[in-house]
Amino acid sequence: MSTTEESPTAAQAGASATRAFRTSRQHRTAGEVTPERVSTVVTALLDGVHRTIRTHQVTYPEYVAAKRWLIEVGESGEWPLLLDVFVEHEVEEVSAQHQQGSKGSILGPYHLPGAVRLPSVCTLPMRADEPGTPLVLAGQVRDTTGKALPGAELDIWHADDAGYYSGFAPHVPDGNLRGVVVADDDGRFEISTIQPAPYQIPTDGPTGTLIERAGWHPWRPAHLHLIVRSPGYRPITTQLYFTGGDWLDSDVAKATKPELVLDPRPQPDGRRRAEYDFVLEPA
């Protein structure tokens, strides 16, 4: 991926992600956290920090550097990026332990509510000259008994061919490569879009600094994000990846699963077509 002078800064992406998180309805958790849980979980978390300090003999300069870095994470608005990359995958796996239906994955920081509603056979909003290999994602939404779910919604969003998300990169038009697709009477859909590029954590903010200073890499494999929902069923938040893609085996966000890898086939018309069916369990 090449970066251009139009690339958003980490601070811009971070500020937008913080704003999106604060207004999102995907995270309604008020009232679910009791004082007992706060005490139990925070005590365990601090125990882990204290144990790390002792085990690795953390020094005062290291403690001060950590403090300075944490302040920067807050000031740059990067908490959503940092948490979604390094923590959310574990919460997702715990919450999915006893769930049936299609595999989920992390939501990440870049979902936006209110995307345009589109019919079951559709093309996602894109620029007239949108770069990237044309891609078709087709399939059916069913319940765990195999019954088709008419009118199921597929809220889909993904990065462009340079790895940027609309709403978080000022040079990408609002609503680009985002839509809520309404499946047909047989739960079927056929979405035309372009193949996204791998995503790179912004390198010019504190998360990027951490990754660089630790000698890690800042990449996520190319992916489509989806929330699939139908009234009376548990919505599935997931991501779909591409077979053979870079970083599939070393996702910085640890959010890949073998069940979530598409194998798009070249079509005579030059597009690539992938099939994927979603299975929802009753709520």
Record the tokens describing residue 146, joined without a space.
């195999």
Closest CA to 109 of 8, 15, 242: 15
Full strand arrangement of the beta sheet holding 178-182? 117-118, 178-182, 153-158, 223-229, 236-242, 261-262
Closest contact distance (angstroms) between CB of 134 and Fe ion is 20
Nearer to ligand DHB, 86 or 148 (CB): 86
**Residue 126 interacts with, from Fe ion, ligand DHB, none (CB under 5-8 Å by kind):** none
Closest contact distance (angstroms) between CB of 161 and Fe ion is 14
Which residues in the 95-134 window bind Fe ion by CB under 5 A?
108
Closest CA to 25 of 280, 229, 233, 278: 229
Closest CA to 199 of 176, 218, 179: 218
**Residue 201 interacts with, from Fe ion, ligand DHB, none (CB under 5-8 Å by kind):** ligand DHB
Record the tokens describing residue 54, joined without a space.
């002792």
Nearer to ligand DHB, 84 or 190 (CB): 84
**What residues contact 168, with CB distance under 8 A and at least 6 apart?**
8, 12, 13, 16, 17, 20, 109, 110
Closest contact distance (angstroms) between CB of 36 and Fe ion is 34
Task: Find out whether 89 and 106 touch, Cβ atoms under 8 Å.
Answer: yes
| Contact footprint for ligand DHB (CB under 6 A) | 81, 84-85, 106, 108-110, 199, 201, 220, 253
Closest contact distance (angstroms) between CB of 277 and ligand DHB is 22
Nearer to Fe ion, 110 or 278 (CB): 110
Question: CA separation (Å) from 155 to 43, 135, 240, 260, 267?
Answer: 38, 17, 13, 16, 25
Closest contact distance (angstroms) between CB of 221 and ligand DHB is 10
**Residue 81 interacts with, from ligand DHB, Fe ion, none (CB under 5-8 Å by kind):** ligand DHB
Which helix (H) or strand (E) segment holds residue 36: the answer is helix 35-55
**Residue 253 interacts with, from ligand DHB, Fe ion, none (CB under 5-8 Å by kind):** ligand DHB
Number of residues that bind Fe ion (CB under 5 A): 1
Which residue number is nearest to ligand DHB in terms of Cβ? 108
Nearer to ligand DHB, 13 or 118 (CB): 13
Nearer to ligand DHB, 220 or 229 (CB): 220
Closest CA to 205 of 62, 84, 76: 76
Provide the binding-site residues for Fe ion, judged by CB under 5 A. 108
